[in-house]
Amino acid sequence: MTPFSVCQDIAQKNGSPLFLVSRLLGEKKRRLFITAYAAMRIIDDLVDETFQAGDPSQRAANRPLILARIAQWRAQAIAANRRAFLPAPDAFAPPVFEALQETIGASDLGEWPWNALAEAMIRDVEEQEILTWTDFLDYCEGATVSPATTFAYILACEVRDHRYVLAHPPTFCRDHVRDMAVFCYLIHIVRDLAKDARKPPQLITIPRQMLAASGLHREGLALALEHNKTALIPLIRALLAQARERLAPGLETIHRLPLRPLERMILNRLLKKYIDLHAQLEADPTRFL
């Protein structure tokens, strides 16, 4: 298999909305998306499926190894960004970073998305509980703003002489997608609340203060879901209210991205999915319980 085909297999594995809409991109931008998505996917899967799935003793035993892998992933992503990645014998998923070097290495995306995502993954592995709304927004920078920034860059950049370039500073896409990225993440949390409540409590990223304000705690969500689903409605409404606050300003800023008609259509199609979900949940907060 070629490095790109390895990335293709990883990217299409879970059929995410991002991957599905990416099929509409032109060939060169699609290659940029596939490699970036695959690189981010492998570290997220390592943390969620390899580390978080373990019991407390397994997680404690595996924590040093997983933290070392995150550090290695970060170093390889930055090396690929600088066109300096060399697949050493102990490299992490070397075909992914070989492919990433050919695409991201020919871009001016910068290193922030890789550093931010690594910090969020470290927080997950160290099991740092999200206590306040400020903690939540800090976590979102890596968990959702980072991949959203990368996707926005892919939509907005131009292909010139075998390079990807954006006529704006590196922070441009980040600043224009932040509110909508948090909006979409909040909708994900509400949509998946029933499923996530039955998983280990460290996977819950809702701030403890917000849970407490609704008379809940993350360790008791599964029990509340089983015996009294209506007890979760105040929490859901609080999450939806936070999403609602970000929707209008988020749409205003994200639509300032300088996109061509095809990329604008792709973005609108993706956003519509989340906006429709938000409307459905506003009408019926128990829809996914």
Number of domains composing the chain: 2
Residues 6+ apart with CB under 8 A from 206: 130, 136, 189, 218, 235, 239
Alpha-carbon torsion, ordered 149, 154, 156, 161, to 10 deg: 140
43-77 per-position pLDDT tens digit: 999 999 899 989 999 999 999 999 999 999 999 99
- At 157, which CATH number? 1.10.600.10
- Domain check: are 35 and 58 in the same one? yes
- Domain check: are 71 and 169 in the same one? no
- Domain check: are 253 and 154 in the same one? yes
- Domain check: are 10 and 94 in the same one? yes
- Domain check: are 244 and 271 in the same one? yes
- Domain check: are 116 and 238 in the same one? no
pTM of the full predicted structure? 0.95
- Domain check: are 115 and 255 in the same one? no
Residue 205 has pLDDT above 90, yes or no: yes
Residue 285 has pLDDT above 90, yes or no: yes
- Domain check: are 166 and 200 in the same one? yes
222-267 per-position pLDDT tens digit: 888 888 888 899 999 999 999 999 999 999 999 999 999 999 999 9
Average pLDDT over residues 16-43: 90
How many C-beta neighbours within 10 Å does residue 42 have? 17
- Domain check: are 232 and 157 in the same one? yes
Domain edge (last residue) among 97, 127, 157: 127
- Domain check: are 288 and 211 in the same one? yes
Output Rg (C-alpha) for the chain, integer angstroms. Answer: 19
What's the first-to-final CA gap in the chain, in angstroms? Answer: 42
121-164 per-position pLDDT tens digit: 999 999 999 999 999 999 999 999 999 999 999 999 999 988 99
User: Which domain range does residue 66 map to?
Assistant: 1-127
Average pLDDT along the chain: 94
Q: Which helix (H) or strand (E) holds 112?
A: helix 112-125
Instruction: For the chain, give the percent of residues with pLDDT over 90.
Output: 82
Residues 6+ apart with CB under 8 A from 225: 194, 197, 198, 232, 289
Domain edge (last residue) among 127, 149, 164: 127
- Domain check: are 195 and 286 in the same one? yes
Q: Please report which confidence band the pLDDT of residue 80 belongs to, taking 50, 70 and 90 as the band edges.
A: very high
Residue 115 has pLDDT above 90, yes or no: yes
- Domain check: are 195 and 214 in the same one? yes
Domain edge (last residue) among 112, 127, 142: 127
